[in-house]
Chains A and B, each alone.
Chain A
Amino acid sequence: MSKLALKTFTLLQTVTSVGLSALAWVVTGVRPIWNGSMPSDRQRIYFANHTSHGDFILLSACLSEKERAITHAVAAGEYWGKSRLRRFIAEDMLSSVLINRQWTKPEENPIEIMLSVLDQGHSLILFPEGTRNMTEEPLLPFRSGLYNLSMARPEVELIPCWIENMSRVLPKGQFLPVPLLCRVVFGAPVTVAPGEERRAFLDRAHATLLALNPRPERDD
């Protein structure tokens, strides 16, 4: 890519990220609640509940400009990679990392792709439920990516983040958001204990995230 094109791209990404964060604030008044962790320059994997396309925008709106620039949401490749336009939005404008959940070729291995992003010193936003939660359950069981990433890069902090109200702002099948107040609760980092089994760790991370919900009875 030429220098000019690269500059245009960086500018485009900055404008998009500032614009979306401002929009998220206008619509939801989003405010972070640091409950167990603090904003930091450390490399992190933020893992959150997933109910809406707006989730990662809300989460990244809570980060500082500097952190946001190096934090990438992990998104479904088979959805966002479907057309050139979607790929442009996801990869170029939102700087997401696309992974394919039904991968066949070794170079499509999601863990390898995410590790390569971490190895550049960047942070990730991960939705370990693997898909948007449309059920009555507050949180679906976790897939194993979180465990695999933590085993491979134990120095990266895993921060649980509960995103409140997004399912009411933008419910399934709707494209116009209802402006309701949202908060993102950032919990204390989770680490894999020595000798801890995959499932045991995932269940523990699941419970930690669920416990952050400030108004558990109101998730309807």
Chain B
Amino acid sequence: MRHDISILIIGLLVVLTTASIVAAILSARAPKPLSSTLINLTQRINAWWVMVALMTVAFFFGRYGLTILFALISFASLREFVTLTHTRRSDHWVLLGMFGIIIPFQYWLVWTAWYGLFVIFIPVYCFLLMPAITALHGDTERFLERIAAQQWAVMISVYCVSHVPALLTLDVPGFEGRNLLLIAFLIIVVQGSDVLQYIFGKLFGKHRFSPTVSPSKTWEGLIGGLVSASLLGALLSFVTPFSPLQAACVAFVACSMGFLGGLVASAIKRDQGVKDWGHLIEGHGGMMDRTDSLVFAAPIFFHIVRYFWTV
């Protein structure tokens, strides 16, 4: 396992170092003052360094590290989501429960691998109890809108995100003790697809995919990104229980979901009249701006592995 992880980490370091060198050369040659695109590029690469460093540390601590890291990611995403939505004073206890009960309990379920409750705790119990609490408070103004926003906030930021560390609880025959690599595979492929879509879009993008939701997404970017990310998945099959062809297919499905996640996140931001989810990461906006695609891909990837590769 250590051997596989080392190869992945060295690979990432090579990619990031190359990116930093290219950005430095571009910045040195470009006329001063630097254009905002170049400054943003450097900021993004630096943020990637920080994210890869954090991820490496979490991997080093194994199950503890990853469960805690993703619980913190849920916290930051939920905070961004709720900040954007309409709330009233009477929502205070429901909101406190989302941060103080739902996040810890959902990650405790991940930790104890209690699959039966893990999959229904939020979409059944929380979805019924949250509106009940609000109704008991007696404040019905914009009731459905407030409830829907809160339910979607926990669905996306907690339920979906928690499926990433939940990959550690799957029993894949012949893959024992290497589940960390499933997480590495998912993150590298989905985040890689984001970057590749961006690059293909910048290079060849002509036909807009959805001008009303996200003007920067193009058909060329989407197809180029998905095909190259599937190839990347096939190349990484040596760290997974999948054959190269299977890895390419799984990567394709995960990245397609990732693309849709980005689209949904853009639609929510547009609806709320903001450009970024938050200001956590320099040059990247908030946590949700980075994780929107991973969030949609994670539960689907989890279920594909669970249904086809576990006993």
A residues in contact (CB < 8 Å) with B: 29, 31, 165, 168, 171-172, 174, 176, 178-181, 183, 218, 220
Contact = CB atoms under 8 A, between A and B. Distances in A.
Given A29-B280, A180-B79, A181-B279, 6 more contacts: A171-B92, A174-B92, A176-B100, A178-B96, A179-B75, A220-B88
B69 to A, nearest CB: 16
A31 B82 contact: no
A178 B95 contact: yes
A180 B96 CA distance: 11
A171 B87 CA distance: 11
Nearest to A27: B79
Interface string B75-112: 11001101100111100100110011000000000000
A176 B96 contact: yes
Q: Is the interface of A mostly helix, strand, loop or mixed?
A: loop
Nearest to B80: A181
Contacts of B80: 181
Contact of B79 (A171, A172, A181, A220): A181
Interface of B: 75-76, 79-80, 82-83, 86-89, 92, 95-96, 99-100, 278-280
B242 to A, nearest CB: 38
A168 B90 CA distance: 10
A58 B280 CA distance: 17
A178 B82 contact: yes
Contacts of B96: 176, 178
B99 A179 contact: yes
22 contacts: A29-B76, A29-B278, A31-B279, A165-B83, A168-B87, A172-B89, A174-B92, A176-B96, A178-B92, A178-B95, A179-B75, A179-B79, A180-B79, A180-B83, A181-B80, A181-B83, A181-B279, A183-B279, A218-B86, A220-B86, A220-B87, A220-B88
